Structure 1
Amino acid sequence: MTAFEALFAEYWPHVAFALSLIIGALAAIHAAMTKTDVRAAIGWVGVIMLSPFFGALLYIIAGINRTRKDQISQQRDASLRDYAEVDLPQLADVTPYAAPQFASLRTLGDRVSHFALHQDNHVQMLLGGDQTYPAMIRAIENACRSIALQTYIFDNDAEGQKIAQALARAKDRGVEIRVLIDAVGAKYSRPPITRLLRKLGIKTALFMTNPLGMRMPYANLRSHRKILVTDGKIGFTGGMNIREAFVKGSDGLPPARDTHFRFEGPIVQQLMTVFAHDWKFTTREALPYETWCAEEWSPPQPTVPARSIRSGPDRSLGSNHSMLLGALAVAQHHVRIQSPYFLPDATLLGAINTAARRGIRVDIVIPGKNNLRLVNYAMMAQIDQVIKSGCNVWVCKGSFNHSKLITIDGAWSYVGSSNLDPRSLRLNFELDVEIYSHDIALQISSVIDDEINNSEPLTLSKLSGLPFAKKLRNKVIWLASPYL
């Protein structure tokens, strides 16, 4: 044994202790200096200091936002900037389409979204996979020039293969096609659909991955967006992934439920902008405007004002959060919320409770059957806070409902991919749409009211009647809700 080895053997505990202090201190300083949420900063500093090596490693993997802000969503590339800069006048006044209190919300949207609010958009609500997937396939079959498809989950099942084969037929017609799937969502089925798509010659990429496999530091940052744009004229977005569980099967069992939306008009340009930016970030390929965008639209009547709200852990961080806070602040009569994962943070929870205390009727619809058991436990640990403030909480009967729908005062609606949970509000890349329209709000309200009519009210007495073991389990899971 050399002198160095002997020295190390004698003093290695001291060396390890010193390294742990240095590494822990550096990680804790980084968390304190970079986190904008004081609770997140306190939490990470506590984890790091209590377990310097493990805590610092966990922070490096899951706590640092490495997203390159100059390359996602807000790129300065002129070819991408042109996508959303259509030569159309911005809507000056939303009052004729909604109500006077929404003028300030429109101003908030101008500052949060970076997309203009345009009228002349046609919106069609689609219920479940039995309406959504055939409508998507029809749009693909009718495409002549380009198809852009982005989703979180694209399962390699009967419905996924139908869409893959429709894309293959479009490719054979000479249509340019790009498919972008989240790297985490792609792992939901085996074998992944990407093998089939690439075998069919369809250009496919995985968001937040590299040729060597999953980059663990990025595994917590997911693209939850759902976009389909054909010929730059027809667009789809909403909450639906591509999975056969959302269609009626031969077994006769009711399918899982969800809601999606079909758009025509200038908002399609905004959907295409979001896709093009995400595609370039992932592949470094810029999609030329003249191939992927339409010069004009002729949407069917009636048309409504609408705009996209993109959010994510980049320069759009908190956009969906800000829009929801603004909408709750201007509400005067009725707030309807349907969410499969209702876990708002303290700020949003406070805004919901304040609306109820102001005398606004607040209806919150959650599923009785949830596909994420841990999230459901955390929901039950927190849900009493809105009930105490006067909100009505309804637990749906029947199959799982994945819809994300919000309407305010029967005039403004917010639809898309965002859930009301920490992941959607802080970690995921999401895409939502705000719509100023009494008619669309009425349609969405009708869908939510149908769910309420098939629900049971959740009361404080029911929650207090749960066994202590379940209450404790729910609270323990709730403590980890920011990471679910």
Structure 2
Amino acid sequence: MFHRRPLLPAFYKHRLATICASVAFISGCALPPLSERTPSQAISAEEAANTRLGQALQPLINAHPGLSGVRALPDAHDAFAVRALLIHAAEKSLDVQYYIWRADTTGMMLLQNLHNAADRGVRVRLLLDDNGIRKLDRELALLNTHPNFEVRLFNPFVIRRPKAIGYLTDFYRLNHRMHNKSFTVDNMATVVGGRNIGDEYFGATDQTLFADLDVLAFGAVVQDVSYDFDRYWASPLAYPIDQIVKLKPTDIIDDLDLGQVLKQNPDRTQRYLHVLRDTELVQELLQQRLDVEWVKTEMVSDDPIKAEGKANAKQMLSYQLHHAIGTPALQVDLISPYFVPTKTGVRGFERLRQKNIPVRILTNSYEATDVAAVHAGYIKRRKAMLRAGIEIYELKKLSSGNLNKKGKNPFGSSGSSLHAKTFAMDGERVFIGSFNFDPRSANLNTELGFVIHSPTLAQEISRLFSERIPYSSYRLALNEHNKLIWLEQEEDGSIITHTTEPGTSLFSRWWVRFMSKLPIEWML
């Protein structure tokens, strides 16, 4: 009797099954085809002029043709209040774009305000990078069912939990993120800067607080921001949330309870309701009493195709920034929380010093940073910059225990970590936005910011380096043995010298040095 041989040995059957399972897994992680989307654009200038904001601002805009009214927002409470109160003032449209939106007290308060605006007939377009909306899938998907509220996720993860699995199968795509931050109301006023949406950005947590900077603007530049939002809204990477997040058949918007988190933190919620009552910035804006500066303001922004890895040099913010802000002739004051200058950047700073142009830099110390890997990318360039004559300051980790106390950090509110991204040039021009001085902002993430031709703002930043930063930071230097030292200036003028990096342990120093040797600088 003849026995039929198996078509495949058992070993190959197992391998084939593994390969098939892997292919199915990878296919399940792939971004699905983009289904039809409802097209929309920013409201017209005519519609905007007929809103309450438009009626208050248009006479001022007409009196300053081609210019923009700008007001810096260094204070965390003011930054929250301006956003919340502008939502209350909105009548036609809210176009909101962020990298991170937290499911915490201030995040939920602002989501609740956006929902209320949609209820009263305001069109809300909310564009969020999908890497920064932890624990918000259901809430955002429910809001998207509102007829006046549309949510899109930029460069989304297909596997919702844990999202990190997506990096195993689609790393190249998912390693590009939308880091832009803008908040535009009735196409008349906008807030642009470094802050995301969450308690740590608005001074509302006992944990890490970020010292940050935004700018409120109206006038000519608002049209540019609205056009840029429309570009991202129409990007092939901007997916309607209902194509990524599936609700249960029984889920309806009436089930939405954005106040649940607020009930868990009643004291914090009440504190921020008081902040809204105490802030008069938006009321002053509506009454044409707000103190602003009318200056030339240029928006610089990456083309959204940068997130697809397809942008050419002229479509990148770095190219636009160079052409908008020009070449320094007198001085450069740079503030960047995540500072990875690379060898090329150090050479650029060295050339400035060879021309006797002073360069001062503020970044996070190890104890203040929230991303140790970025610190590893920075530490290997410190000595070269110091030898070139560059002044380097590292922000100390400041106390964040008292949410109402003004601390010594240079941005006007207590904070334990630097998050502002700004630099001033020649005491005449200043950049404020989302762009960090690192390879990730330059090459991978999309970014947005303003170049503001304002001697007032530029000189304010320069004064920070002269008057406040020395007391809130460690100044770096090299001793006679070419070793790094950290100089801490006390209020009485005395100086404490640290010969080891403040806030570090033997293991943390070893670990950061080890990471600095890895070939990861391009990702930082």
TM-score, normalized by the shorter chain, greater than 0.5: yes
Structure 2 residue 364 is matched with structure 1 residue 387: no
- State the AA in 2 paired with 1:457: R
- Equivalent residue in structure 1 for 2:337, among 340, 346, 361: 340
Cα offsets for 1:71-107 (capped at 9, x unmatched): xxxxxx9978x99xxxxxxxxxxxxxxxxxxxxxxxx
Please state how far the C-alpha of 1:5 moved relative to its aligned partner.
6.1
Mind listing any 5+ residue stretches in structure 1 that lack a counterpart? 13-60, 67-76, 84-117, 286-297
Correspondence for 1:194 = 140
Cα offsets for 1:55-82 (capped at 9, x unmatched): xxxxxx9xxxx9xxxxxxxxxx9978x9
Percent identity over the alignment?
A: 23
Please state how far the C-alpha of 1:463 moved relative to its aligned partner.
3.0
Secondary structure of 1:229's partner? strand
- State the AA in 2 paired with 1:315: A
Please state how far the C-alpha of 1:267 moved relative to its aligned partner.
0.6
Structure 2 residue 357 is matched with structure 1 residue 360: yes
Q: Does the C-alpha gap of structure 1 residues 2 and 357 become closer, same or farther in structure 2, counting only changes over 3 Å?
A: farther
In structure 2, what is the Cα distance between the partners aligned to 1:222 and 1:242?
Answer: 16
In structure 2, what is the Cα distance between the partners aligned to 1:171 and 1:329?
Answer: 42
In structure 1, what is the Cα distance between the partners aligned to 2:427 and 2:107?
Answer: 35
In structure 2, what is the Cα distance between the partners aligned to 1:308 and 1:387?
Answer: 33
Correspondence for 2:443 = 426
Please state how far the C-alpha of 1:469 moved relative to its aligned partner.
3.5
User: Is the contact between residue 422 and residue 431 of structure 2 (CA under 8 Å) also seen in structure 1?
Assistant: yes
Q: Does the C-alpha gap of structure 1 residues 447 and 198 become closer, same or farther in structure 2, counting only changes over 3 Å?
A: farther
Correspondence for 2:517 = 476
Mind listing any 5+ residue stretches in structure 2 that lack a counterpart? 16-28, 32-38, 46-64, 241-287, 399-415, 486-498, 501-505
TM-score (norm 2): 0.63
Please state how far the C-alpha of 1:258 moved relative to its aligned partner.
0.7
Q: Does the C-alpha gap of structure 1 residues 458 and 208 become closer, same or farther in structure 2, counting only changes over 3 Å?
A: same
Cα offsets for 1:117-152 (capped at 9, x unmatched): x83201111114311111011111100000000000
- Equivalent residue in structure 2 for 1:350, among 344, 347, 352: 347
User: Is the contact between residue 234 and residue 262 of structure 1 (CA under 8 Å) also seen in structure 2?
Assistant: yes
Deviates more, 1:299-308 or 1:329-338: 299-308
Correspondence for 1:255 = 209
- Equivalent residue in structure 1 for 2:300, among 285, 309, 315: 309
Q: Does the C-alpha gap of structure 1 residues 374 and 440 become closer, same or farther in structure 2, counting only changes over 3 Å?
A: same
In structure 2, what is the Cα distance between the partners aligned to 1:204 and 1:388?
Answer: 50
Secondary structure of 1:135's partner? helix
User: Is the contact between residue 349 and residue 386 of structure 1 (CA under 8 Å) also seen in structure 2?
Assistant: yes
In structure 2, what is the Cα distance between the partners aligned to 1:250 and 1:422?
Answer: 30
Correspondence for 2:114 = 167
In structure 2, what is the Cα distance between the partners aligned to 1:407 and 1:127?
Answer: 15
Correspondence for 2:457 = 440
- State the AA in 2 paired with 1:241: N
- Equivalent residue in structure 2 for 1:119, among 49, 66, 77: 66
Please state how far the C-alpha of 1:200 moved relative to its aligned partner.
6.5
Cα offsets for 1:245-276 (capped at 9, x unmatched): 1333475x783211111110011111111111
Q: Does the C-alpha gap of structure 1 residues 454 and 211 become closer, same or farther in structure 2, counting only changes over 3 Å?
A: closer
User: Is the contact between residue 164 and residue 197 of structure 1 (CA under 8 Å) also seen in structure 2?
Assistant: no
Cα offsets for 1:191-245 (capped at 9, x unmatched): 6752564476632111012766576342111100001111000011111000101
Correspondence for 1:451 = 469
In structure 1, what is the Cα distance between the partners aligned to 2:131 and 2:205?
Answer: 29
- Equivalent residue in structure 2 for 1:270, among 200, 219, 224: 224
Correspondence for 2:429 = 412
Correspondence for 1:370 = 369
In structure 1, what is the Cα distance between the partners aligned to 2:371 and 2:377?
Answer: 10
User: Is the contact between residue 93 and residue 187 of structure 2 (CA under 8 Å) also seen in structure 1?
Assistant: yes
User: Is the contact between residue 343 and residue 381 of structure 2 (CA under 8 Å) also seen in structure 1?
Assistant: no
Q: Does the C-alpha gap of structure 1 residues 284 and 332 become closer, same or farther in structure 2, counting only changes over 3 Å?
A: same
Please state how far the C-alpha of 1:451 moved relative to its aligned partner.
2.6
Cα offsets for 1:158-182 (capped at 9, x unmatched): 0001101111111111000010110
In structure 2, what is the Cα distance between the partners aligned to 1:411 and 1:480?
Answer: 36
Please state how far the C-alpha of 1:355 moved relative to its aligned partner.
0.8
Correspondence for 1:113 = none
Please state how far the C-alpha of 1:322 moved relative to its aligned partner.
2.9
In structure 2, what is the Cα distance between the partners aligned to 1:155 and 1:442?
Answer: 34
Structure 2 residue 484 is matched with structure 1 residue 463: yes
Q: Does the C-alpha gap of structure 1 residues 352 and 415 become closer, same or farther in structure 2, counting only changes over 3 Å?
A: same
Please state how far the C-alpha of 1:338 moved relative to its aligned partner.
0.4
Secondary structure of 2:430's partner? strand
Correspondence for 1:242 = 197
User: Is the contact between residue 96 and residue 127 of structure 2 (CA under 8 Å) also seen in structure 1?
Assistant: yes
Cα offsets for 1:449-474 (capped at 9, x unmatched): 52343212112345386578467425
Cα offsets for 1:393-414 (capped at 9, x unmatched): 0011221010001000110111
User: Is the contact between residue 154 and residue 193 of structure 1 (CA under 8 Å) also seen in structure 2?
Assistant: no
- State the AA in 1 paired with 2:461: I
- State the AA in 2 paired with 1:194: L
Aligned 1:28-67 pairs, distance under 5 A: none
Secondary structure of 1:224's partner? coil
- State the AA in 2 paired with 1:218: R
Q: Does the C-alpha gap of structure 1 residues 193 and 274 become closer, same or farther in structure 2, counting only changes over 3 Å?
A: farther
In structure 1, what is the Cα distance between the partners aligned to 2:224 and 2:432?
Answer: 15
User: Is the contact between residue 341 and residue 381 of structure 2 (CA under 8 Å) also seen in structure 1?
Assistant: no
Please state how far the C-alpha of 1:440 moved relative to its aligned partner.
2.2
Secondary structure of 1:459's partner? strand
TM-score (norm 1): 0.68
User: Is the contact between residue 335 and residue 363 of structure 1 (CA under 8 Å) also seen in structure 2?
Assistant: yes
In structure 2, what is the Cα distance between the partners aligned to 1:324 and 1:283?
Answer: 25
Structure 2 residue 128 is matched with structure 1 residue 181: yes
Aligned 1:9-20 pairs, distance under 5 A: none
Please state how far the C-alpha of 1:415 moved relative to its aligned partner.
1.2
Aligned 1:109-148 pairs, distance under 5 A: 119-148=66-95
User: How many residues matched?
Assistant: 373
Q: Does the C-alpha gap of structure 1 residues 232 and 324 become closer, same or farther in structure 2, counting only changes over 3 Å?
A: closer
